[in-house]
Structure 1
Amino acid sequence: MTKSIPAVRTSLLLDAALLTLAAVDAVFEVTTDELAYRDIILAVIAVSALCVRRRTPYLVLLATLPSLEVGSAVLPSLIALYTVAELRPARVRLVLCAIAVFAFYTGYWHTPESKASAVLDAIYAMMFAGAPVLLGLLVRTRGDLAAKLTEIAQARRHEQELLIDKALARERADLAREMHDVVSHQVSLIAVQAGALQVTAKDEASTHKAQVIRMLSVQTLDELRSMVAVLRASGTSPTALAPQCGIKDLPALVAASGITTTIETTSDDSADMSKVPAAVQRAIYRTAQEGLTNVAKHAPGATATLQLHIKARSVRLTLSNSAPARAAHPLPSNHNGLLGLRERAELLGGSLYTGNSVDGGFQLSIELPLHV
């Protein structure tokens, strides 16, 4: 993975600082001790090898060991071992490198001055070899954890983007469904009414206007279908645009209305619920929805009865309510809901009945053929 500019700059500054410390250590050792010309050359080699410590850490460590043994430069071996632990954390090789540093520091092939001196050298060598190994492993672990955290953050951002895309796709599908179910229906009604006007118009001007209105309605329907196809999210099945409400959803609609309603469902022996067209089911659902809304608006406290009768050739829904238990609050109403239901019923070849019932309530009934 490519490092960022700040990370590269920090790495270069660290290399420069370590190289400077190693050079200072070598100069101090050379100037304070009387060393042979050979020992000075070994110190220069050890310090110079640190320039490529990240590329070939094993060779750099090997180049610093002679100066460690003669004592002309100690810090380069420490830095080289730290680099091996940070960049090449293979256990066996790391242990061998640490043993090599321990051995060259103690110099057991030379005769020790005393047993106490040999023990002290061993303790110092263990500290000298163990500290850079632990520090290198710690720095590497920290880097690995930082990389994991970055990866987790990227995965979380990607997951959030996927969730946002999924929500947008769902909203697009919902919008497409609403446009398909509502707007296209209204435009279809306009086209039907324009066609009827075109047939019944008595003068040529009215006939021409009705023809233009019908043509524009048809063009609008075509453009609407294209827009729905664009809005529909990829991967959404075509059935997602079908009406999402039907006869099976009537109990949930009644429960959500908050009106005490008794549901009575009957059917003839030859009736088959699965053969009721989707458009008919949606019209039945919309009728019940509009009726319950009117009960809530104009007859507060009333009870209702919803009767559904499925015949072999038609289906009838009747919603009747009792007299209101209290006076209704005045709400603006232009009866567009009932008008839309009547037009929907006529479009499907059925009929709609509305009127007051004998007990002071209201009755709404729609009957639609099953073959539309």
Structure 2
Amino acid sequence: MSTQGISIGIPAGADRAHGNTDFRRHLRLKRVALAPLAIDATAIVLAVLDVWLVIPDKAPTYSIYLSGLACLALAARRWLPFVVVLGTVPGFLTGWSQLAAMIALGMLATRKQTHWQVWVGAALVWACRFIQWPLSDFATLSWREHVLDAIYGVLVAGMPIAIGLLIGARAQLSQKLGELAASRDREQKLHADAVRAEERARLAREMHDVVSHDITLIAMQAGVLAAGSDSQSAQDTAKVIRQLSTRTLEELRSLVGVLRSGLADDGPQPGLGELDQLVKDCEVPVQLTVDSLPEQLPAKVSAAAYRTVQECLTNVRKHAPGASATVRILGAGDELNIEVCNASPRETVTPLPSGGHGLMGLAERARLLGGSFETSPTPDGGFRVRASYPVGS
């Protein structure tokens, strides 16, 4: 094993950072939920101020009530926009709720765009601005005043519709942009999947044509060595080499099949039940302790524990020849804890090829399963590996 300590796990402040993130997300969602209510309340207040500022001292009582009802009707403009426009018409015609009618018409245009209800509402708002109440006063107006009222009516009815159409067009544009972005993301994902599939196929070919071929030759040569040697020790060693080569070849063929299929490796994998055989075949003096294993152990956790012990014992054999190892596997609550510790090497260490990816792969596996992984040297010159995997649902 390498004597360089690494530690991969959840940072000490991760829980606090996660809590702060959840709190900020809650506040953001709350603000989003309260924004429409604030806008509606502001619209009602502005409509009431518009009525209150222009209402004469001796206004008819019914016109005051109708104007107030028109302002209060704005509370339902998001759900019943056309009905709210109709509800503001009496107050606008006989009273002073012009702003309330414009706000209601603007919401109707935003929701319905060019629907017939929008044009009906526009006609009603225009008529309320053009016609003066009482009708006797309307009949006494000159033609110039009628023309001016008609022009002002077009402005009063046209401006909310223009704003509503603009808002609706912006919403539609945002939706189209979102659809285009989603389509682009799907295309990029498909392209990435195609690239990965091509790379997996290339790796499968290389592993089948090169690695599998070499391992097969190793197994064959080991068989020849076992058959032609008179030494019992040489025969035993050759048999072990042949068994390991055969097992490695089977796992390699399974991996090639996974690469070619493009699927995740969800097939049968060795677990803690095969630890005894692993310890027996590892050619390292091992003291194995297994205690308090949960009754229902997830297959992925069992496979990860097996691979952890396997990699650690392999590293002991490679980097600390002659050293003994201690393996402790303990179930503690909703966690499975693994500790592999070896003493200092008793023989001269011969450097062997090593990419340093074994421990990194174990750390990545632990991270993906929501656990932790750490390594450190021991005071006596050995090495210690600790891993923890969650076993709860």
What CA distance in whole angstroms lies between the structure 2 residues aligned with 1:9 and 1:163? 41
What CA distance in whole angstroms lies between the structure 1 residues aligned with 2:30 and 2:169? 22
Matches within 5 A, 1:75-86: 75-86=99-110
Asked if 1:141 is matched to 2:165, the reply is: no
Counterpart of 1:28 in structure 2 is: 53
Q: Which of 28, 31, 39 pairs up with 2:63?
A: 39
Q: Which of 93, 100, 120 pairs up with 2:124?
A: 100
CA offsets, 1:169-188, max 9 Å, x none?
33223222211111111011
Q: Helix, strand or coil for the counterpart of 1:232?
A: helix
CA offsets, 1:260-297, max 9 Å, x none?
xxxxxxxxxxxxxxxxxxxxxxxxxxxxxxxxxxxxxx
Which ranges of structure 1 fall in alignment gaps of 5 or more residues? 236-372
Asked if 1:165 is matched to 2:165, the reply is: no
Matches within 5 A, 1:248-263: none
Q: Helix, strand or coil for the counterpart of 1:226?
A: helix
Counterpart of 1:56 in structure 2 is: 80
What CA distance in whole angstroms lies between the structure 2 residues aligned with 1:184 and 1:37? 97
Counterpart of 2:37 in structure 1 is: 12
Q: Which of 171, 182, 188 pairs up with 2:216?
A: 188
Matches within 5 A, 1:304-323: none
Q: 1:7 to 1:140 in 2, by over 3 A?
A: farther
What CA distance in whole angstroms lies between the structure 2 residues aligned with 1:60 and 1:159? 45
Asked if 1:73 is matched to 2:101, the reply is: no
What CA distance in whole angstroms lies between the structure 1 residues aligned with 2:72 and 2:167? 24
What CA distance in whole angstroms lies between the structure 2 residues aligned with 1:69 and 1:35? 14
What CA distance in whole angstroms lies between the structure 2 residues aligned with 1:216 and 1:59? 81
Q: 1:164 to 1:6 in 2, by over 3 A?
A: farther
- Residue identity matched to 1:23: V
Conserved? CA contact 2:219–2:246, under 8 Å: yes
Give TM-score, length-normalised by structure 2: 0.55
Q: Helix, strand or coil for the counterpart of 1:113?
A: coil
- Shifted more, 34-43 versus 84-93: the winner is 84-93
- Residue identity matched to 2:236: H
Give TM-score, length-normalised by structure 1: 0.58
Return structure 1 stretches of 4+ with deviation > 6 angstroms.
none
Count of residues paired in the alignment: 233
Give the drift of 1:98. 0.8
CA offsets, 1:49-81, max 9 Å, x none?
111111111111111111211232211111111
Conserved? CA contact 1:35–1:72, under 8 Å: no
Give the drift of 1:163. 2.8
Q: Helix, strand or coil for the counterpart of 2:163?
A: helix
Q: Helix, strand or coil for the counterpart of 2:139?
A: coil
Asked if 1:176 is matched to 2:204, the reply is: yes
State the Cα RMSD in Å. 2.4
Conserved? CA contact 1:170–1:233, under 8 Å: no
Q: 1:231 to 1:158 in 2, by over 3 A?
A: same
What CA distance in whole angstroms lies between the structure 2 residues aligned with 1:6 and 1:114? 52
Give the drift of 1:7. 4.1
What CA distance in whole angstroms lies between the structure 1 residues aligned with 2:99 and 2:150? 18
Conserved? CA contact 1:194–1:211, under 8 Å: yes
Which ranges of structure 2 fall in alignment gaps of 5 or more residues? 1-27, 264-393
* Higher RCO (CA 8 Å, separation ≥ 6 residues): 2
Give the drift of 1:225. 1.1
Report which of the two structures shows the higher radius of gyration computed on alpha carbons: 1
Asked if 1:114 is matched to 2:114, the reply is: no
